[in-house]
A and B are shown apart, each in its own frame.
Chain A
Amino acid sequence: MSERPTAEELAEAIEEFLSGEILPTLADHRLRFRLLVALNALGIVRRELTQLPARDDAEQRGLAGRIRAGDVPEGTLGRVRADVERRLRIASPDYLDGYAGE
Protein backbone atom coordinates (compact mmCIF):
# COMPACT_ATOMS: atom_id res chain seq x y z
CA MET A 1 0.00 0.00 0.00
CA SER A 2 1.38 3.45 -0.90
CA GLU A 3 1.34 6.35 1.51
CA ARG A 4 -2.03 8.05 1.77
CA PRO A 5 -3.36 10.15 0.30
CA THR A 6 -1.82 8.42 -2.71
CA ALA A 7 -0.80 10.59 -5.68
CA GLU A 8 -4.00 9.46 -7.34
CA GLU A 9 -6.09 10.50 -4.33
CA LEU A 10 -4.39 13.90 -4.27
CA ALA A 11 -5.14 14.43 -7.96
CA GLU A 12 -8.74 13.51 -7.28
CA ALA A 13 -8.96 16.03 -4.41
CA ILE A 14 -7.60 18.79 -6.68
CA GLU A 15 -10.09 17.89 -9.42
CA GLU A 16 -12.97 18.13 -6.93
CA PHE A 17 -11.75 21.48 -5.65
CA LEU A 18 -11.27 22.99 -9.10
CA SER A 19 -14.54 21.74 -10.55
CA GLY A 20 -16.63 22.18 -7.39
CA GLU A 21 -15.32 25.43 -5.95
CA ILE A 22 -13.37 27.33 -8.61
CA LEU A 23 -15.24 26.62 -11.85
CA PRO A 24 -18.58 28.03 -10.59
CA THR A 25 -16.89 31.33 -9.67
CA LEU A 26 -15.36 31.92 -13.14
CA ALA A 27 -17.31 34.34 -15.34
CA ASP A 28 -14.57 34.80 -17.96
CA HIS A 29 -15.26 32.37 -20.83
CA ARG A 30 -11.62 32.02 -21.76
CA LEU A 31 -10.68 31.12 -18.19
CA ARG A 32 -13.57 28.66 -17.89
CA PHE A 33 -12.44 26.94 -21.08
CA ARG A 34 -8.84 26.75 -19.94
CA LEU A 35 -9.84 25.39 -16.54
CA LEU A 36 -11.91 22.65 -18.21
CA VAL A 37 -8.89 21.75 -20.35
CA ALA A 38 -6.70 21.69 -17.22
CA LEU A 39 -9.22 19.39 -15.51
CA ASN A 40 -9.08 17.06 -18.50
CA ALA A 41 -5.29 16.99 -18.28
CA LEU A 42 -5.45 16.34 -14.52
CA GLY A 43 -7.86 13.47 -15.18
CA ILE A 44 -5.30 11.94 -17.52
CA VAL A 45 -2.61 12.23 -14.84
CA ARG A 46 -4.89 10.62 -12.25
CA ARG A 47 -5.85 7.70 -14.49
CA GLU A 48 -2.26 7.14 -15.50
CA LEU A 49 -1.30 7.03 -11.81
CA THR A 50 -3.77 4.20 -11.22
CA GLN A 51 -1.65 2.03 -13.49
CA LEU A 52 1.50 2.40 -11.39
CA PRO A 53 2.25 -0.42 -8.99
CA ALA A 54 1.57 0.43 -5.32
CA ARG A 55 4.68 0.89 -3.21
CA ASP A 56 5.40 -2.07 -0.97
CA ASP A 57 5.33 -0.87 2.65
CA ALA A 58 6.12 -4.23 4.27
CA GLU A 59 9.48 -2.96 5.55
CA GLN A 60 7.93 0.11 7.19
CA ARG A 61 5.19 -2.03 8.68
CA GLY A 62 7.74 -4.44 10.11
CA LEU A 63 9.83 -1.63 11.60
CA ALA A 64 6.77 0.06 13.13
CA GLY A 65 5.64 -3.25 14.62
CA ARG A 66 9.03 -4.00 16.19
CA ILE A 67 9.24 -0.53 17.77
CA ARG A 68 5.71 -0.94 19.15
CA ALA A 69 6.84 -4.20 20.76
CA GLY A 70 9.73 -2.38 22.44
CA ASP A 71 12.39 -3.88 20.16
CA VAL A 72 14.50 -0.75 19.62
CA PRO A 73 18.16 -1.68 18.97
CA GLU A 74 20.91 0.89 18.34
CA GLY A 75 20.57 2.39 14.89
CA THR A 76 16.78 2.37 14.91
CA LEU A 77 16.57 6.16 14.79
CA GLY A 78 18.80 6.22 11.69
CA ARG A 79 16.50 3.81 9.86
CA VAL A 80 13.41 5.70 10.93
CA ARG A 81 14.89 9.01 9.85
CA ALA A 82 15.88 7.64 6.43
CA ASP A 83 12.24 6.63 5.90
CA VAL A 84 11.00 10.10 6.85
CA GLU A 85 13.59 11.85 4.64
CA ARG A 86 12.59 9.74 1.66
CA ARG A 87 8.96 10.79 2.10
CA LEU A 88 9.88 14.44 2.74
CA ARG A 89 11.78 14.64 -0.54
CA ILE A 90 8.39 14.08 -2.21
CA ALA A 91 6.04 15.85 0.19
CA SER A 92 8.01 18.93 1.24
CA PRO A 93 11.52 19.08 -0.25
CA ASP A 94 12.41 22.52 1.17
CA TYR A 95 11.47 21.62 4.72
CA LEU A 96 14.88 20.24 5.68
CA ASP A 97 16.53 23.60 4.90
CA GLY A 98 14.98 24.90 8.12
CA TYR A 99 17.28 22.59 10.08
CA ALA A 100 20.50 23.94 8.58
CA GLY A 101 22.83 24.84 11.44
CA GLU A 102 20.88 22.97 14.13
Chain B
Amino acid sequence: MIADVREALETVLGPISEPVLLPGGASKEAWAVDAGGERLLVRRAGGGVIHRHTLSLRDEFEVLRAAHEAGVRAPRPVAYIDDLDGREAFVMERLEGETIGRRIVRHAVPEQLPLQMAEELAKIHGLPPQRLPFLEEASVDRLVEELDEVGEPRPAIELGLWWLRENRPPPREPVVVHGDFRIGNLVVGESGLVGVLDWEFAHLDDPARDLAFSLVRAWRFGVPEKRLGGIAAVEPYLEHYNELTGFAVRPEELDYWELAGNVAWAVGCLTQAQRHLSGRDRSVELAILGRLGAEVEYEICHLLERQGVT
Protein backbone atom coordinates (compact mmCIF):
# COMPACT_ATOMS: atom_id res chain seq x y z
CA MET B 1 0.00 0.00 0.00
CA ILE B 2 2.90 2.36 0.76
CA ALA B 3 4.08 1.89 -2.84
CA ASP B 4 0.63 2.90 -4.18
CA VAL B 5 0.45 5.97 -1.93
CA ARG B 6 3.96 6.95 -2.96
CA GLU B 7 3.21 6.60 -6.67
CA ALA B 8 0.01 8.64 -6.39
CA LEU B 9 1.81 11.35 -4.39
CA GLU B 10 4.65 11.59 -6.88
CA THR B 11 2.26 12.43 -9.70
CA VAL B 12 1.35 15.56 -7.70
CA LEU B 13 4.56 16.43 -5.86
CA GLY B 14 7.32 15.00 -8.06
CA PRO B 15 10.00 12.78 -6.51
CA ILE B 16 9.47 12.27 -2.77
CA SER B 17 11.12 10.43 0.09
CA GLU B 18 9.66 7.14 1.35
CA PRO B 19 6.31 8.06 3.03
CA VAL B 20 6.23 7.25 6.75
CA LEU B 21 2.85 6.62 8.40
CA LEU B 22 2.78 8.57 11.68
CA PRO B 23 1.21 7.14 14.86
CA GLY B 24 -2.06 8.44 16.31
CA GLY B 25 -4.78 9.96 14.17
CA ALA B 26 -7.75 7.72 14.92
CA SER B 27 -9.88 8.93 12.02
CA LYS B 28 -7.31 10.17 9.52
CA GLU B 29 -3.95 8.93 8.37
CA ALA B 30 -0.93 11.22 8.55
CA TRP B 31 2.08 10.52 6.34
CA ALA B 32 5.40 12.33 6.61
CA VAL B 33 7.22 12.84 3.31
CA ASP B 34 9.86 15.19 2.01
CA ALA B 35 9.74 16.66 -1.49
CA GLY B 36 11.98 19.25 -3.09
CA GLY B 37 13.78 19.79 0.20
CA GLU B 38 10.51 20.57 2.02
CA ARG B 39 9.06 18.76 5.04
CA LEU B 40 5.50 17.81 4.16
CA LEU B 41 2.60 16.08 5.83
CA VAL B 42 -0.11 14.22 3.95
CA ARG B 43 -3.47 14.06 5.70
CA ARG B 44 -5.53 11.23 4.20
CA ALA B 45 -9.02 9.97 5.03
CA GLY B 46 -9.06 6.85 7.23
CA GLY B 47 -11.60 4.08 7.46
CA GLY B 48 -14.41 5.72 9.39
CA VAL B 49 -15.73 9.21 9.92
CA ILE B 50 -14.89 10.58 13.37
CA HIS B 51 -18.02 12.64 13.75
CA ARG B 52 -21.01 13.49 11.61
CA HIS B 53 -20.26 17.18 11.68
CA THR B 54 -16.62 17.13 10.70
CA LEU B 55 -15.55 18.80 7.47
CA SER B 56 -14.51 16.82 4.43
CA LEU B 57 -10.79 17.04 3.70
CA ARG B 58 -11.64 19.27 0.73
CA ASP B 59 -13.40 21.79 2.99
CA GLU B 60 -10.79 21.48 5.73
CA PHE B 61 -8.14 22.34 3.14
CA GLU B 62 -10.12 25.46 2.16
CA VAL B 63 -10.34 26.56 5.80
CA LEU B 64 -6.61 26.02 6.24
CA ARG B 65 -5.99 28.06 3.09
CA ALA B 66 -8.15 30.93 4.27
CA ALA B 67 -6.50 30.89 7.71
CA HIS B 68 -2.99 30.74 6.30
CA GLU B 69 -3.68 33.61 3.89
CA ALA B 70 -5.02 35.69 6.77
CA GLY B 71 -1.73 35.24 8.60
CA VAL B 72 -2.87 32.65 11.16
CA ARG B 73 0.09 30.56 12.32
CA ALA B 74 -0.79 27.31 10.56
CA PRO B 75 0.89 24.83 8.23
CA ARG B 76 1.21 26.14 4.67
CA PRO B 77 -1.36 24.30 2.53
CA VAL B 78 0.24 22.67 -0.53
CA ALA B 79 -2.31 20.64 -2.51
CA TYR B 80 -5.68 18.92 -2.27
CA ILE B 81 -5.87 15.45 -3.85
CA ASP B 82 -9.36 14.04 -4.37
CA ASP B 83 -8.15 10.50 -5.02
CA LEU B 84 -4.99 9.37 -3.28
CA ASP B 85 -5.06 5.61 -3.73
CA GLY B 86 -8.83 5.57 -3.33
CA ARG B 87 -9.32 8.22 -0.60
CA GLU B 88 -9.26 12.00 -0.45
CA ALA B 89 -6.23 13.72 1.03
CA PHE B 90 -4.36 16.98 1.24
CA VAL B 91 -0.73 17.98 1.57
CA MET B 92 0.56 20.67 3.91
CA GLU B 93 3.79 21.81 5.49
CA ARG B 94 5.05 19.61 8.35
CA LEU B 95 5.81 21.97 11.22
CA GLU B 96 8.50 21.27 13.80
CA GLY B 97 7.56 21.28 17.44
CA GLU B 98 5.65 19.47 20.18
CA THR B 99 1.97 18.56 19.94
CA ILE B 100 1.61 16.00 22.76
CA GLY B 101 -0.39 17.77 25.49
CA ARG B 102 1.14 15.93 28.45
CA ARG B 103 4.65 16.87 27.33
CA ILE B 104 3.77 20.51 26.72
CA VAL B 105 2.27 21.08 30.17
CA ARG B 106 5.10 19.25 31.96
CA HIS B 107 8.01 20.99 30.33
CA ALA B 108 8.91 24.65 30.43
CA VAL B 109 5.94 26.38 28.83
CA PRO B 110 7.03 29.28 26.60
CA GLU B 111 6.03 32.44 28.45
CA GLN B 112 4.39 34.03 25.42
CA LEU B 113 2.22 30.99 24.54
CA PRO B 114 -1.03 32.15 26.25
CA LEU B 115 -0.99 35.55 24.53
CA GLN B 116 -0.09 33.94 21.21
CA MET B 117 -3.12 31.68 21.58
CA ALA B 118 -5.28 34.77 22.06
CA GLU B 119 -3.70 36.38 18.97
CA GLU B 120 -4.37 33.39 16.73
CA LEU B 121 -7.97 33.13 17.93
CA ALA B 122 -8.48 36.83 17.21
CA LYS B 123 -7.25 36.26 13.64
CA ILE B 124 -9.37 33.14 13.13
CA HIS B 125 -12.48 34.91 14.40
CA GLY B 126 -11.86 37.69 11.90
CA LEU B 127 -11.95 35.35 8.86
CA PRO B 128 -14.73 36.38 6.46
CA PRO B 129 -17.52 33.74 6.68
CA GLN B 130 -18.49 34.35 3.02
CA ARG B 131 -15.08 33.01 2.03
CA LEU B 132 -16.12 29.64 3.56
CA PRO B 133 -19.79 29.25 2.59
CA PHE B 134 -19.90 25.54 3.51
CA LEU B 135 -19.45 26.23 7.23
CA GLU B 136 -22.57 25.56 9.29
CA GLU B 137 -23.78 27.07 12.53
CA ALA B 138 -23.65 24.79 15.57
CA SER B 139 -26.29 24.49 18.25
CA VAL B 140 -26.86 22.73 21.55
CA ASP B 141 -29.61 20.71 19.81
CA ARG B 142 -26.93 18.96 17.83
CA LEU B 143 -25.46 17.54 21.06
CA VAL B 144 -28.90 16.34 22.15
CA GLU B 145 -29.32 14.52 18.84
CA GLU B 146 -25.96 12.83 19.19
CA LEU B 147 -26.70 11.80 22.75
CA ASP B 148 -30.02 10.31 21.67
CA GLU B 149 -28.36 8.39 18.87
CA VAL B 150 -26.06 6.70 21.41
CA GLY B 151 -29.14 5.94 23.49
CA GLU B 152 -27.49 5.57 26.91
CA PRO B 153 -28.96 7.44 29.89
CA ARG B 154 -26.54 10.08 31.17
CA PRO B 155 -28.15 12.24 33.87
CA ALA B 156 -25.01 14.39 34.31
CA ILE B 157 -24.94 15.30 30.62
CA GLU B 158 -28.69 16.01 30.73
CA LEU B 159 -28.21 18.30 33.71
CA GLY B 160 -25.40 20.12 31.89
CA LEU B 161 -27.60 20.54 28.81
CA TRP B 162 -30.47 21.78 30.98
CA TRP B 163 -28.27 24.42 32.60
CA LEU B 164 -26.91 25.52 29.21
CA ARG B 165 -30.47 26.00 27.92
CA GLU B 166 -31.55 27.95 31.01
CA ASN B 167 -28.52 30.22 31.25
CA ARG B 168 -27.55 31.07 27.70
CA PRO B 169 -25.82 34.49 27.60
CA PRO B 170 -27.05 37.00 25.01
CA PRO B 171 -25.88 35.46 21.73
CA ARG B 172 -23.03 37.12 19.87
CA GLU B 173 -22.82 37.42 16.10
CA PRO B 174 -21.47 34.02 14.91
CA VAL B 175 -17.90 34.04 13.59
CA VAL B 176 -15.67 31.44 11.97
CA VAL B 177 -14.39 29.27 14.85
CA HIS B 178 -11.72 26.58 14.82
CA GLY B 179 -13.90 24.24 16.88
CA ASP B 180 -11.11 22.26 18.59
CA PHE B 181 -8.69 24.98 19.68
CA ARG B 182 -6.70 23.58 22.59
CA ILE B 183 -3.32 22.25 23.72
CA GLY B 184 -2.85 19.03 21.77
CA ASN B 185 -3.93 20.64 18.51
CA LEU B 186 -1.23 23.33 18.66
CA VAL B 187 2.38 22.88 17.58
CA VAL B 188 4.55 24.41 20.30
CA GLY B 189 8.27 25.21 19.98
CA GLU B 190 10.77 27.00 22.18
CA SER B 191 9.56 30.37 20.98
CA GLY B 192 5.93 29.47 21.61
CA LEU B 193 3.09 28.78 19.21
CA VAL B 194 4.34 27.46 15.86
CA GLY B 195 1.03 26.50 14.28
CA VAL B 196 -2.63 25.62 14.74
CA LEU B 197 -3.61 22.13 13.49
CA ASP B 198 -6.76 20.04 12.99
CA TRP B 199 -9.29 22.34 11.37
CA GLU B 200 -11.90 19.65 10.74
CA PHE B 201 -14.30 20.97 13.39
CA ALA B 202 -14.39 24.52 12.01
CA HIS B 203 -17.90 26.02 11.96
CA LEU B 204 -19.79 29.24 12.72
CA ASP B 205 -20.38 29.94 16.38
CA ASP B 206 -20.13 32.33 19.30
CA PRO B 207 -16.45 33.38 19.53
CA ALA B 208 -16.47 32.73 23.29
CA ARG B 209 -17.00 29.05 22.54
CA ASP B 210 -13.55 28.80 20.92
CA LEU B 211 -12.00 31.01 23.55
CA ALA B 212 -13.19 28.72 26.37
CA PHE B 213 -12.45 25.34 24.80
CA SER B 214 -8.86 25.29 26.12
CA LEU B 215 -10.29 25.60 29.64
CA VAL B 216 -11.98 22.19 29.55
CA ARG B 217 -10.34 20.18 32.33
CA ALA B 218 -9.53 17.18 30.11
CA TRP B 219 -7.39 19.52 27.99
CA ARG B 220 -5.35 20.67 31.00
CA PHE B 221 -3.53 17.32 30.79
CA GLY B 222 -3.19 16.65 34.50
CA VAL B 223 -2.40 20.23 35.59
CA PRO B 224 -5.91 21.33 36.64
CA GLU B 225 -4.78 24.35 38.67
CA LYS B 226 -3.75 26.13 35.45
CA ARG B 227 -7.13 26.79 33.95
CA LEU B 228 -5.90 27.71 30.49
CA GLY B 229 -4.92 24.34 29.04
CA GLY B 230 -2.73 23.36 32.00
CA ILE B 231 -0.28 26.12 31.06
CA ALA B 232 -1.42 29.41 32.60
CA ALA B 233 -4.08 31.52 34.29
CA VAL B 234 -6.88 32.60 32.02
CA GLU B 235 -7.10 36.35 32.75
CA PRO B 236 -4.18 37.72 30.67
CA TYR B 237 -5.30 35.56 27.74
CA LEU B 238 -8.86 36.84 27.91
CA GLU B 239 -7.71 40.44 28.33
CA HIS B 240 -5.39 40.22 25.31
CA TYR B 241 -8.11 38.65 23.16
CA ASN B 242 -10.52 41.40 24.12
CA GLU B 243 -7.95 44.11 23.31
CA LEU B 244 -7.40 42.61 19.87
CA THR B 245 -11.04 41.97 18.93
CA GLY B 246 -12.99 44.56 20.87
CA PHE B 247 -15.48 41.77 21.65
CA ALA B 248 -15.40 42.42 25.41
CA VAL B 249 -16.03 38.77 26.32
CA ARG B 250 -16.94 38.60 30.02
CA PRO B 251 -15.52 35.99 32.43
CA GLU B 252 -19.08 34.66 32.97
CA GLU B 253 -19.28 33.87 29.28
CA LEU B 254 -16.07 31.83 29.58
CA ASP B 255 -17.66 29.94 32.50
CA TYR B 256 -20.71 29.20 30.36
CA TRP B 257 -18.71 28.00 27.37
CA GLU B 258 -16.30 26.02 29.54
CA LEU B 259 -19.30 24.06 30.75
CA ALA B 260 -20.55 23.75 27.18
CA GLY B 261 -17.11 22.44 26.14
CA ASN B 262 -17.26 19.80 28.86
CA VAL B 263 -20.76 18.74 27.82
CA ALA B 264 -19.60 18.50 24.20
CA TRP B 265 -16.60 16.37 25.17
CA ALA B 266 -18.73 14.13 27.42
CA VAL B 267 -20.99 13.46 24.43
CA GLY B 268 -17.87 13.08 22.28
CA CYS B 269 -16.58 10.29 24.53
CA LEU B 270 -19.81 8.37 23.96
CA THR B 271 -19.78 8.86 20.18
CA GLN B 272 -16.11 7.84 20.01
CA ALA B 273 -16.86 4.61 21.91
CA GLN B 274 -19.71 4.05 19.49
CA ARG B 275 -17.21 3.92 16.61
CA HIS B 276 -15.70 0.85 18.27
CA LEU B 277 -18.97 -0.73 19.38
CA SER B 278 -20.57 -0.37 15.94
CA GLY B 279 -17.61 -2.19 14.38
CA ARG B 280 -16.60 0.75 12.21
CA ASP B 281 -13.24 1.30 13.97
CA ARG B 282 -12.32 -1.43 16.41
CA SER B 283 -9.89 -0.01 18.97
CA VAL B 284 -9.30 -0.28 22.72
CA GLU B 285 -8.53 3.46 22.86
CA LEU B 286 -11.94 4.33 21.47
CA ALA B 287 -13.73 1.71 23.55
CA ILE B 288 -12.36 2.92 26.88
CA LEU B 289 -13.54 6.49 26.21
CA GLY B 290 -17.06 5.19 26.76
CA ARG B 291 -16.09 4.66 30.41
CA LEU B 292 -13.64 7.54 30.87
CA GLY B 293 -16.44 9.93 29.93
CA ALA B 294 -17.44 9.61 33.60
CA GLU B 295 -14.47 11.87 34.42
CA VAL B 296 -15.90 14.59 32.19
CA GLU B 297 -19.35 14.09 33.75
CA TYR B 298 -17.84 14.60 37.18
CA GLU B 299 -16.33 17.88 36.00
CA ILE B 300 -19.76 18.91 34.71
CA CYS B 301 -21.17 18.29 38.22
CA HIS B 302 -18.28 20.26 39.75
CA LEU B 303 -18.89 23.25 37.48
CA LEU B 304 -22.66 23.12 38.04
CA GLU B 305 -22.11 23.21 41.79
CA ARG B 306 -20.01 26.36 41.35
CA GLN B 307 -22.92 27.87 39.46
CA GLY B 308 -25.11 27.27 42.50
CA VAL B 309 -27.03 24.25 41.20
CA THR B 310 -28.01 21.88 43.98
Could you tell me which A residues sit within 8 Å of B by CB distance? 1, 3-5, 9-10, 13-14, 16-17, 57, 60-61, 63-65, 67-68, 70, 72, 74-81, 83-85, 87-88, 90-92, 95-96, 98-99, 102
Find out whether the CB atom of A68 lies under 8 angstroms from the CB atom of B152. Answer: no
Find out whether the CB atom of B155 lies under 8 angstroms from the CB atom of A63. Answer: yes
CA distance A45 to B59 in the complex (A): 46
B287 contacts A by Cβ under 8 Å = yes
Q: Could you list 26 examples of A-B contacts with CB < 8 Å?
A: A3-B291, A4-B152, A5-B290, A5-B291, A10-B291, A13-B283, A13-B287, A16-B282, A17-B283, A17-B284, A60-B153, A60-B154, A60-B155, A63-B158, A67-B159, A67-B162, A72-B162, A77-B159, A79-B155, A80-B301, A85-B298, A88-B294, A91-B291, A95-B295, A98-B222, A99-B298
Find out whether the CB atom of B310 lies under 8 angstroms from the CB atom of A75. Answer: yes
Inside 8 A of B222's CB, which chain A residues have their CB? 98
B135 to chain A minimum Cβ distance, whole angstroms, is 29
If A10-B288, A77-B159 are given as contacts, then 14 extra A-B residue pairs at C-beta distance below 8 Å, sorted by A number, are: A3-B290, A3-B291, A60-B155, A63-B155, A63-B158, A64-B153, A64-B154, A64-B155, A72-B159, A75-B310, A87-B294, A91-B295, A95-B298, A102-B302
B277 contacts A by Cβ under 8 Å = yes
B143 to chain A minimum Cβ distance, whole angstroms, is 12
Task: Output the nearest chain A residue to B154 by Cβ-Cβ distance.
Answer: A64
A82 to chain B minimum Cβ distance, whole angstroms, is 10
Partner among B153, B283, B302 whose Cβ is within 8 Å of the Cβ of A99 = B302
User: 0/1 per residue, B293-307, Cβ < 8 Å to A?
Assistant: 011011001101100
Given A92-B295, A102-B302, A13–B158 Cβ distance below 8 Å? no
Q: Which of B27-72 contact A (CB under 8 A)?
A: none
Inside 8 A of B155's CB, which chain A residues have their CB? 60, 63-64, 67, 79-80, 83
B224 contacts A by Cβ under 8 Å = yes
Inside 8 A of B283's CB, which chain A residues have their CB? 13, 17
Inside 8 A of B277's CB, which chain A residues have their CB? 4-5, 9
CA distance A98 to B284 in the complex (A): 25
Count of chain A to chain B residue pairs whose CB atoms are closer than 8 Å in the complex: 106
Task: Output the nearest chain B residue to A77 by Cβ-Cβ distance.
Answer: B309
Inside 8 A of B290's CB, which chain A residues have their CB? 3-5
Q: Which of B180-216 contact A (CB under 8 A)?
A: none
B270 to chain A minimum Cβ distance, whole angstroms, is 9
B273 contacts A by Cβ under 8 Å = yes
Inside 8 A of A70's CB, which chain B residues have their CB? 162
Residues of B within 8 Å of A, CB-based: how many? 32
CA distance A32 to B294 in the complex (A): 35
B201 to chain A minimum Cβ distance, whole angstroms, is 25
| List of 9 A-B pairs having minimum Cβ-Cβ separation, nearest first | A64-B153, A91-B291, A67-B158, A61-B153, A60-B153, A13-B287, A81-B301, A87-B294, A63-B155
Inside 8 A of B291's CB, which chain A residues have their CB? 3, 5, 10, 87, 90-92
Partner among B158, B284, B302 whose Cβ is within 8 Å of the Cβ of A64 = B158
Inside 8 A of B158's CB, which chain A residues have their CB? 63-64, 67-68
User: 0/1 per residue, B259-293, Cβ < 8 Å to A?
Assistant: 00000000000000100110000111001101110
Partner among B161, B162, B224, B297 whose Cβ is within 8 Å of the Cβ of A84 = B297
Inside 8 A of A65's CB, which chain B residues have their CB? 153
A4 to chain B minimum Cβ distance, whole angstroms, is 6
Inside 8 A of A57's CB, which chain B residues have their CB? 153
CA distance A14 to B285 in the complex (A): 10
